[in-house]
Amino acid sequence: MVLNDTLANALSLLSQHEKIGRKEIIIKPYSNMVKKVLKLLNKEGYVGEFEEIEDGKGGALKLHLIGKINKCGVIKPRFMIKFEHMEWTEKRYLPAKDFGIVIISTNKGLMTHDEAAQKKIGGSLIAYCY
């Protein structure tokens, strides 16, 4: 089986296992982008801690779920937006104002749409979570 987007696969797995009430999942394969997105989701309080498991076949991530995610996914195509359009982004991908996050890849690294708006920088839309 060939996976074209490891981030989409990881967020889909995360969303499915949250719905059925699992407490931990194994994400395999993973990339640095997946780790950075999970760190951001952990910082925002959507998922618990995760650890890398070395199995001799590329490794895996063991992620602890805390039951706070209603929906999450990637944004494709990865639109570029300016900081003036953060409100449009929030309306488009989130169900209500100040509910959930949109993850943006900027020249300062991955951050939420709120952080990017405060710093007045734009970037590429990566994912959403609420």
DSSP 8-class letter at 84: G
**Domains in the chain: ranges and CATH:** 6-65 (3.30.1370.30), 75-129 (3.30.1490.10)
Q: Compute the distance between CA of residue 93 and CA of residue 42 in angstroms, rounded to an integer.
A: 20
Task: Identify which of 97, 85, 77, 75 has the alpha carbon closest to the alpha carbon of residue 122.
Answer: 85
pLDDT tens across the length of the chain (130 residues):
557 899 999 999 999 999 999 999 999 989 999 999 999 999 999 999 999 999 888 889 999 999 999 999 999 999 999 989 989 999 999 999 889 999 999 999 999 999 999 999 999 999 999 9
Q: Indicate the pTM of the whole model.
A: 0.92
